[in-house]
Each structure stands twice: as C-alpha cells, then as structure tokens.
Chain A
Amino acid sequence: MKDLIEKLAKEAQEEISQAGSLTQLEELRVKYLGRKGSFTTLMTGLKDIPNEEKPAAGQALNHAKKSIEHELETKQQHLEKEELTKQLSDDSFDVTRPGTHVTTGHIHPLSQVQKEVEEIFGQMGFAIMDGPEIESEHYNFEALNVPKDHPARDMQDTFFVSGKHHENHGRMVLRTQTSPVQIRSMEKYGAPLRAIMPGRVFRYEATDASHDSTFYQVEGLLIDKDVSLANLKGVMTEFLTRLFKRETKVRFRPGYFPFVEPGIELDMWCLLCSGQGCRVCKNTGWMEFMGAGMVHRNVLKAGGIDPDEYKGWAFGFGLTRLVMMKYGIDDIRHLMSGDLRFLKQF
C-alpha cells in the first residue's frame, strides 16, 4: 500500500510540474483528487486492508494528498501569473492615440500679468487701489501740477466727454493716466501710504501696432517720513527681478513729469541681453520702462498731505507694454480684439 501511495504521489508530482496550462492542471486535479480520482480510490481501498495497517496507511495517504494539493495550488498560482503576463503583453491597446481633449478657458494675458504685479507689490506691503476711469480735469491734471496751457498737456492727448463741465472739476475726461488715483488715495487715506493702482487709461491718439486708444498702466506711490530715491531703485529692482525671474537692474536718468520733482526715467536691463547691449536695445543694454520721481510738493498738498512732514515717490509704467514684452506680442491691437485664436494662447 505504502509503495503504491509513494509511486502515485511521485507520478502526480511529475505530471503537475509539467502541466502547461490551467486546463491541464484542472484535469490532473480531477485525475488524482476528483471523486473518481486515484487518491480517492485509494482512500476507498483503505477499508480492505488489515486493521493494524490502517493508521499508518491512512496517515501516509493523507500526507501525500496534502502535498499534492499544495503542489496543485502552487502550480496554479504560477500558471495564473504566467497567463496574466501573457495576456498583458498581448494587449493591443494603442497608447499612442492622443489624450482626450479637455476644454479649458483662458484668462486674458493682461489679467494674468496684472495679478502677478499685484502679488509682488502686495508682498512688499503695497495696497491695491482703484479709482474711476471717467475723471475730471481737476484730478487728471490740475491736482497733479499740470496747469492749463502747460506743454505737458500735449504729451497726453485727451478724450473729453461732451457737455460735461463742473465749476471745481473742470471738464470731464477719460483718465489719461492712473495718476489721479494718487490724489484720490491721498485724500481718502492720508499718510503714510503705500499703494499701487493698476487700471485702464485712454489716449486720444491714432491707433497702430504699438499705440492704442485704450491701454493699462500701473501707478505706484509710497509716502512716508523717511523715503528716498534709493528706496525707489530698491523696490523697482526687486519687482522686476521677481517678475522676470532673473537678475535685473534698473537705472535712473533725468526725465520730466510735472507731478514729480525730481523727475526720473527708469530704464531696465534689456530683456534680451541683460545689459550687455544688443540690437533690440540699440547697444545700450537698457530698455525704457517707466516714469517716476519724488512726488511734487504741490501734488502732496493737493492730496491734503503736509509736504514738510512727509515725502514720497511715485512711478507709472505701462502694463500693456509689459505684457507685450513678456510674451513677445508684436501688435498691441490683438489685446483688445477678442480674437480667440489670440486669447487661447495664454
């Protein structure tokens, strides 16, 4: 009996190890362990052997059966794994097909850059302020130290609103600059003051690839007891370095704006050559960026701030121009065109 069991077990082990598929393995399970399987038959045959041999034979048989079951289980796992591997490698799914298109919207480049500018100045403690787009001559010119008939008024061709005149305000204009917000902020908050004022401005001038009647500016203002030109240089260097994400330098040169004294033109390192000099910057290494200066006494007075106690600086740059420089846009008119072929690029 014992020999028979051993022989059968060996034979079973052999066949299991050679089974090539799950079907074959199932056949072997039936052959050896099924209801009419070899071991089942042997089990039935136990009743015919002498009693004293029964325990030993039963034990051997059970042991052999368990071992076969284990072999079957191991082999099955092995075959299943093999089958899965085969199945996965035979997969015909085409991973090179394009990804499913997800429709997204686009935020206008002016809004994107404006937000960035607001965030950078926000981190430097500047508030974001706002004022009306329809202004009076008082706020747009007089309060900013640009008296009537001053040649500086020529520098900014103005849109006037028909039939609107006010005793104290003069004519109604579309603001030509964000600077009137300086006065309004001073009136409202007094000193000290630290704010930027981004917004839409208007110029009555013919439109071409680099001029539009409507564009965006950012005005900045810092008023305190202890403020210097060195701070202005520091703040602008920091701002431009953060905005363009690389080292940037600024330089001052004399300029004229009636609302500041001294008036300064601020140039920044040429974006293309970083100050080395190239064709774009006419070999100077610099690009014109904005007007700035120390706030004129008369402007502080107009804003209700004592110019003997406080001083400040102000600046103004073209957000639209900045956007054009940042993205290499060659025609300003795209920005106001509403053309989705343009807008979807941002």
Chain B
Amino acid sequence: MKISLNWIKKFTDVPETMSAQELAQLFTIRTAEVEGVMNEGEMFHNIVVGEITSIQPHPNATKLRITQTNVGTQHGGTLQIVCGAPNITEGQKVIVALPGSKVRWHGEGDYITLEKAELRGVESNGMICAGEEVGLEATPEGILDLSTYTATKDYELKPGTPLSFLLNKNDVILEIDNKSLTHRPDCWGHYGIAREMSAIFGTKLKPYEKAVKISKATHGASPLTIKIHDKEICPRFTACIIKNINIKESPEWLKEALAKVGVRSVNNIVDVTNYVMVELGQPMHAYDRHTVQTDTLDVRYAQENEQLETIDHKHHKLDKEDPIITNGKHPLTIAGVMGGAYSEISDNTTEIILESANWQPGTVRKASQRHGLRTDAVQRFEKSLDPEMTLPALLRAIALIQKICPKAELEGGIVDEYVQKNPTKVIIVDPQKIQEKIGTPIATPEIVTLLKRLQFNVKSLPGKPKKLEITVPSFRATKDINSQDDILEEVARLHGYEKITPTLPSLPIKLPSENTQRKLEHRVREILSSQLALNEVYNYSFYSKDELTACNLPEDLHLKLQNYLSSEQTHLRISLVPNILKNLQSNLRFTQEVGIYEIGRTYTEEHQFFPREEIIVAGAIISQTHESPFLAVKGIIETFARELSLTTQDWERGSAFAPTAHPNRYIELKTSTEALENQPGFARVYQLHPLIAQHYELPATTAIFEINLTRLLANEQTEKRYTPIPKYPGIEIDIAILIDKSVPAGTLQKAIHATNKDLIQHVSLFDHYEGQNIEPTKKSLAYRILLQSNERTLTEIDLTSAQKAITQEIENLGGTIR
C-alpha cells in the first residue's frame, strides 16, 4: 500500500528534522514494514529557479554565450554559467541545474551528475536547462522559459526556489508491506497511518471530521430503503442518493492524489469513492440510480442460478453463500467484493446511490476466493473493518462530490442501517505482568501514556496489585486487540523493542534428553560421506505416476496430492529409489563415477489417518573402476554395520518385497533381533532390476542399498569393546581352490572356518577367477587363512594338521587344491 506523506501531514505533524529514510525505519520498527521510500523531490535535487542578469559573448565560441545568473543567496548568489541556447534573454527566469544535480544531455541517455566545468576556456558553474534535460516536456526552441511555463500557476518565481517546490514534487511516498498489516484493519488508509504516526511521535491527531471539514449527518427522510435480510453478512449499511451529478474527468488535484498512491483515475464519482477509501480505509460503491430502477436495495445471500456480470465484464454464477445486493429483481453487486456492470456509473449518469457499508469479513473473503476477485475492497473488508467508519466516509464523499459537481445535492437524508453494533471492549491488565513478559522495566505511568497516545482509554483500578482498566477504541476492537497480551504488544512496540536488553535465560536444571535419531542421522552421514566417500543428495518427497509404475511400486500404498505443481510431482514417495535413479541419470551426463545417498522420509498409506513415516537411507553406485558395484555397495553396508557396532547375522538372500531389485542379485542383512523376530533386515543391497536400469538409461551393474534407520533405531546398538592384542604370532596360509561354479564362495569360506574354530581366526577371499586355463564349469578361489592361538606359539604340527583338515573339507565339497 502506498502512503503519501503530504496526505498524512493533513492529519498530524511529522517531525521536519527527520529524513524520509529515518521515518521509514522508525515506522518499520514501531508499526509495520516500509518496503520502499520514494522521494519525489530527489529527481530535482539542486535544480532551482534562476534569473539571467547579464549576457556576454563567448571569446572562443560563436554559439556559446556567458551569462551571469542569480540562483539565490542560499546557492551562492549570482553565478557565471555558459549557455548555448539561442533563446536566452536578460531578465529571463530559467531552470538552473547546479553542480551535483542529475540531468540528461539533450534529453537523451541516462541521467548524469552535473559538475563544475570549463567550456572553451570559460568557467561554468551550472547549466541552464531545456525541459527535456530535467525530465519535463521538451522545449525544442532551446531552454525552458519559466515565465511562460508557469503562467497558469500562481507561484512566485524567486531565484533559488527549488524546482521540486515549483512543480509541487515535494512528497514522499512510503510503500508499506501489506502482509505486515494483516492484523491491522485500522491501518488501511492514510488516516489510520497518521494515527499510528501521531502515537509514535506523540503528536496531536486531528479528528477526521475536523481535518476534512465535514458536517454532521442530516437524517432527513430518504427515498432510499435498505432491507437487510441476512443480518450476519452486513453489520452496517449507510447510503444516500445524490442528484444533479455531472460525470466527467476528475480535477487535476484528485487525479494527482490518486496517481501518487497508485490508483487509476476513472471518472469523478468513482475517483471520489476511491479517494475516500485510500484516505479513511472505508471502501465505497456508487450505483447509477436509473439503471438500478428502484430505491429499495435488498441485502441477502445469493440464490442458486443467480448470475452477475461484474464491472470487469466477467460473468459469475453466484453461490448461495455469496453476499449480494439486489434491486429486488436481480443482483447488483457481490457485496464488499465488486460491483456489477449493469448498474455502474456511466457518462450518462445523473443520479447516484452512494453506498458505504460494513461487511462480514469471512463471507466477503470466501466470495472473493470463489470468484477469483481480489479487489482493494476485499483486501480491506477481510481484515474486519470498524463499522463506525461508514458514516464519516459517506459524509466525506458527499462533501467531495459537492466540491467537484457544485450542483450536486442530496435527495433527502442519509439511510443508516446499523444492525450489529460492536459492544465496547474493556480489558483489565496488570502492568507488572506486562513488564515481566517484556523483560524490561516500563513504569506504569509510561504504559498509561503510550496507550493513551494510541487512543485507548485508561483508568487505574483501586486495590493491589495495581491494575488498569483499558477501553479499546472501536477501530482496534474489531479483531486484533482482545487480551492483556495484545495490550502488551502495543506497549512494547511503542516503548521501543530496541530498548529491550538481550539477556540469556538461565540454564534449566534438567538438561534435555538426546535425540538419538538425529544423532544417528548425523553419524550415518559421517560414515557414508567422510569414510566411505559417498555424496549426500536431497530430493523432493514426491514423484510421478509414471515413475512409480516404472519402478514397480504399488500405487495403492501411495498418498496422492490433491493439488500439485507439476505432473512430475503427484505422489508422495514410499521409496527414495526413483528420485535417486533420476539423480544418477542426470549426473551421468558429466561423470562416469557416481556414488550418492539420501536420508529422507517415506510415507506409506496404512489406512489409518496418518501414514507410516520412516527414515530411510538409500544410495547407489555406478562405477567403471570398481570390479563390481554390487560388491562395493555390499562392502559399504558391512563397514556401516561395523562402524555402528551392530550385531548382525550373515547376509541372506533377500526375501522382503523389493520391487526395484534384480531378483537374483538381492541380499539382506539382519540384526540379531531382526533375525530372532523374523523381521525383514534393516539393510538391503541389490543390483537394479534390468528393466528399470533400461528405463532410466543406467548401466546394468548399477547397485543400490537401502537402510531403514527407523527400524535400526528400534533395535539396540552395542558399544565398541576392546579385545586384547594377540601375544603370540599367527601364521598365514594361502590356498587356491578349483571348484564347481555352483558352490558359493560364502559356503566355502564358512566350511574352512568350521574345520578348526579355535585356531582359525580369519578367512578371507582374495582372488576370484573364472575363464582361460580353467574348465568352463569351474572357478578358482584363493583364500588367506590366519591361524593363531591366544595361549601359545603355533608349531609345525598345528599347521600341518590344520592344512590337512582344510584340504579334507574342500575335497568333501568337490574342490581341489591347485
């Protein structure tokens, strides 16, 4: 909302010493955010009226002449200025741009800052300007002769008078953030803002009626009848009929006043209603009495099948909850939202019905949303306007119309249907409590003063502790002031939030318990990123129907968005994998090696109200350098489990539902608890299903892991324990085995270990070979076996007997030692 400071000054004094910027800052910290400050005069800074006292030829240039120009004593008196215009004469009043001002050479290009200059060897202390050089209309004849330009204006052309003053460009426009006025129905017009400023500066606020010189209402009989059928939608309806109207363009002052605050001029009557709205904050509406065809207006909810063409020429099918005004036959306006085209003011209008009403905020708001009509009126009515405003607004409008159309006159008096008067609001507050909650000492007399400045009525109550009885003015009583806390806000902001000294609260006696889930999440990141070199990604919580179909995810487990931003984001994820696959796909454009993971929530529909939210870690590896991304991912999970000291079982072939997995290259890892309770494993590792890989154009070897952190948290984790470092040396033996491909390496490894659980500490596979020099049905596996005892140094006999047992076992399994 744009606010003109000159307009404000009609109602209260604003300190002259304060700059517009300072004022904006102060208003921002006391009342509402000022988003922008536009200083009209700034463009004309250092541009003043000058009088040419003498003209001399230039010694070095024929087109240039040297003038002595008086620019007023405050700007240095008479200055020497070189000028090239042909139309200068002695005694002429001209526009002089002094050094530091901004001008455009010949009215073209950007504004540049003028400096003192030497023109062909002669000093020049400024510039005598053409109109276009200072942003006014062009003067092709040369410089602008002020005596002709201002012939219609009654200003004295004194040398030194700022041009801004001459042009009446001395206003400051404040742009106030509408959102910060959401709870301030009283601040939606200049008078309300003036009221705030008077409270901020402690200056006097002129009563509205006095400031704009309007008389008391005349309550004579009016031909107008207002029938309010549905009382809850219209607390007050004030109106009158004015005849002898002459519709024409608004006078300059009115057009200018509206233009400054960003309102388009329509015609004199519509402009008056808008003027009153931006001045007092009360939206109004004018009807053409002839097209309305009656002097009886009905206020009610619309009926089904009723229609209205609004003034923007859109047709609306009305809803039975829309508040409307009718002429007894058909709707004329959507009340508080927008008028109808049918009864709007036209060039032929001679008599008007002028409405100044108060509407129920919720009803207006819903109707506005329903019809997509977000007007200035809606913006104000939805905030809960003060019904007390309707009458002064109407009186002001009548006075303005009579000023513009001197023949205009009221027909009869004013109709005022005041069906719901708000009761007076009284709040009892304890000043001590207010102080405590603000956390800074504010003496009770100051509290009283501040509240009185805001036009609250304050009375001290007898008794102890001392309490204050506060009567809320009508313009604050509609919505935002209801309790002691609301009064506290008024006191705190006017006293000054900046005066509150920051203090730390004392530490609680009982320190908060740890959030184990958050801790685990951060730990997982350290393991996966810092130790295992994966990169963390964040993805959206949604994907598309195509995506879930491509990934074989059952649609019925998904929650669907009712409103979505794109067809790519319609379903809430039950798996992190689809978005991870998209990450892989997009990164493959730049790199061959991708290792990523995400920690995020999945939302699974379980046919209770709330879905099951689980925290999942999902990751993937695509690699050209790894022999097998699957094994790389398997290793990652093994390291992960070791780092977190999880007591896990051996890997199992995956059996839990895993729609994105290659069915034969899918394994799960369970904690002991999970195994015991026959639950699915907390972690799974798999190669991507070939069809899915194809769909996302990913390598067939793409490997995925998924860890269910929610389930892992439910299981206990063990602490790391120290085991003594062996005292006796161990012996390592390497054996290469030729065996049938069908025998899994894991089986062989376990079998070797089982031959001597006391001495064999460790069995690891260090080579796996299939191919040349080996029978096609066989593979070669090489194991390194560590034999070690805690009690003694091993002997040759220990070694041979262990070897013998191992060989025996391998042969039992159909293998041979190579």
Q: A: which residues have CB within 8 A of B?
A: 103-108, 110-111, 115, 118, 122, 124-130, 132-134, 136, 149, 151-152, 155, 159-164, 166, 169, 172, 174, 192, 194-195, 200, 202, 204-207, 213-214, 222, 224, 226-231, 233-238, 250-256, 261-265, 283-284, 294, 296-297, 311, 335-341, 343-344
Contact = CB atoms under 8 A, between A and B. Distances in A.
B546 interface: no
Nearest to B561: A159
B587 A339 contact: yes
Contacts of A162: 559-562
A147 to B, nearest CB: 9
B561 A338 contact: no
Nearest to B512: A127
B25 interface: yes
B383 A252 contact: no
A53 to B, nearest CB: 61
Contacts of A236: 502
A105 B535 contact: yes
Interface string B182-222: 11100000000000000000000000000000000000000
Contacts of B504: 124, 231, 234-235, 238
Nearest to B587: A340
Given A200-B541, A338-B538, 7 more contacts: A107-B526, A149-B362, A160-B563, A172-B559, A214-B540, A251-B29, A311-B437
Contacts of A335: 538
Contacts of A254: 29-32, 180, 489, 493, 497
A41 to B, nearest CB: 52
A107 B183 CA distance: 42
Contacts of A205: 565
Contacts of B498: 251-252
Given A234-B504, A254-B180, A107 B536 contact: yes
Interface string B499-510: 011111101100
B591 A252 contact: no
B511 A125 contact: yes
B541 A224 contact: no
Contacts of A163: 560, 562
A127 B539 contact: no
A340 B590 contact: yes
A294 B437 contact: yes
Given A105-B534, A155-B179, A192-B508, A297 B485 contact: yes
Given A127-B512, A127-B513, A136 B609 contact: yes
Interface in B556-580: 559-565, 569, 572, 579
Contacts of A195: 512
B537 interface: yes
B502 A252 contact: no
Contacts of A214: 540-541
B528 interface: yes
In the complex, which range does the number of interface residues on chain B fall in?
Answer: 35 or more
Contacts of B559: 134, 161-162, 164, 172
Nearest to A283: B21
Contacts of A104: 529-530, 533
B322 interface: no
B529 A128 contact: no
B537 A338 contact: yes
A39 to B, nearest CB: 48
A107 B530 contact: yes
A297 B437 CA distance: 13
Contacts of A284: 25
B51 interface: no
Interface stretch (B346-354, B595-603, B627-635, B755-763): B595-603
A302 to B, nearest CB: 15
Given A172-B609, A254-B180, A130 B518 contact: yes
A160 B21 contact: no
Contact of A336 (B503, B533, B536, B539): B539
Given A105-B530, A161-B560, A163-B560, A110 B538 contact: yes
B383 A151 contact: yes
A132 B606 CA distance: 15
Nearest to A282: B36
Contact of A252 (B29, B437, B562): B29
Given A125-B508, A134-B610, A265-B33, A106 B180 contact: no
B538 to A, nearest CB: 5
B613 A132 contact: yes
B503 to A, nearest CB: 5
A136 B609 CA distance: 9
Contact of A111 (B179, B182, B525): B525
B404 interface: no
Interface in B521-555: 522, 525-526, 528-541
Contacts of A202: 541
15 contacts: A105-B533, A124-B504, A125-B507, A161-B559, A192-B508, A200-B541, A214-B541, A229-B440, A230-B503, A231-B505, A235-B505, A256-B181, A261-B488, A262-B485, A338-B596
